[in-house]
Structure 1
């Protein structure tokens, strides 16, 4: 895993669309494809970002230890 690698994930912000909290929007989980933009020096987590429409979203994920 390196900065710049492509990654696909379902953002936590989209999870409520299936639960029905926003009935006026599509209730379907959507995935986004973005890039890793930061990795913690101790490799505890990484930050990914993706363009969604005209906006950029970011989300952090823990790095799984082997």
Structure 2
């Protein structure tokens, strides 16, 4: 589970410049396949609700950049 979360965060991070600028280079299907929020609710929330909230927010904000959520 932790490796999956790390891989997803690495994927998201790779879509940003060091300066923080959004590259918008990722394959949209790969962005759709991000399950960071769902995974954090299922696996992380009970033990660390703050971390779970953060991971859900990262998932939401990243997908929002691609227009996948409102």
TM-score category, normalised to shorter length: under 0.3
Task: Provide the TM-score with structure 2 as the length reference.
Answer: 0.26
TM-score, normalization: structure 1? 0.27
**Structure with the higher fraction of residues in helix conformation:** 2
Kindly indicate which of the two structures has a greater share of residues assigned to strand: 1
